Amino acid sequence: MKRFAFKMKLLPGYKDEYKKRHDEIWPELEKLLKDNGISDYSIFLDEETNILFACQKQFGEQTSQELGTDPIVKKWWAYMADIMETNPDNSPVTFPLEEVFYME
């Protein structure tokens, strides 16, 4: 098991909408993530900078961001593209973070 952390950027004024969309995450997306070894997935927001910090456990070879060839993920990215910084393919602009401390 690996832990993977990354950051993304929410557009200003979309905190409530971002939370609402994730509170209503599609069951097929949740199943896809779990079936690919993604668990214990959390996203935090720094409201001062609109930076989203995500952390997940990864039991498979791929992180959630590497599942972008799946139609469900592509559909989710398109759904989220209007409220966050994205790449031309609608994937969120992400920046992997280096772990510098961990305490179990």
Tens digits of residue pLDDT in 56-103: 999 977 778 789 999 999 999 999 999 999 999 999 999 999 999 999
The candidate with the shortest Cα–Cα distance to 55, out of 96, 13, 90, is 96
The answer to the question of residue 104 being in a domain is no
Q: What are phi and psi of 40, to 5 degrees?
A: 45, 50
**What total number of domains does the chain contain?**
1
The answer to the question of residue 103 being in a domain is no
Please confirm, yes or no, whether 22 is among the known catalytic residues.
Answer: yes
The answer to the question of residue 67 being in a domain is yes
Q: Which domain holds residue 44?
A: 2-96
The answer to the question of residue 102 being in a domain is no
Query: Exactly one of 20, 22, 31, 34 is catalytic; which is it?
Result: 22
CATH of the domain at 54: 3.30.70.100
Q: What is the pLDDT of residue 46?
A: 98
84-91 contact pairs (CB < 8 A, 24+): 84/8, 84/9, 84/10, 84/11, 84/14, 84/18, 84/52, 85/8, 85/9, 85/10, 85/11, 91/65
The answer to the question of residue 101 being in a domain is no
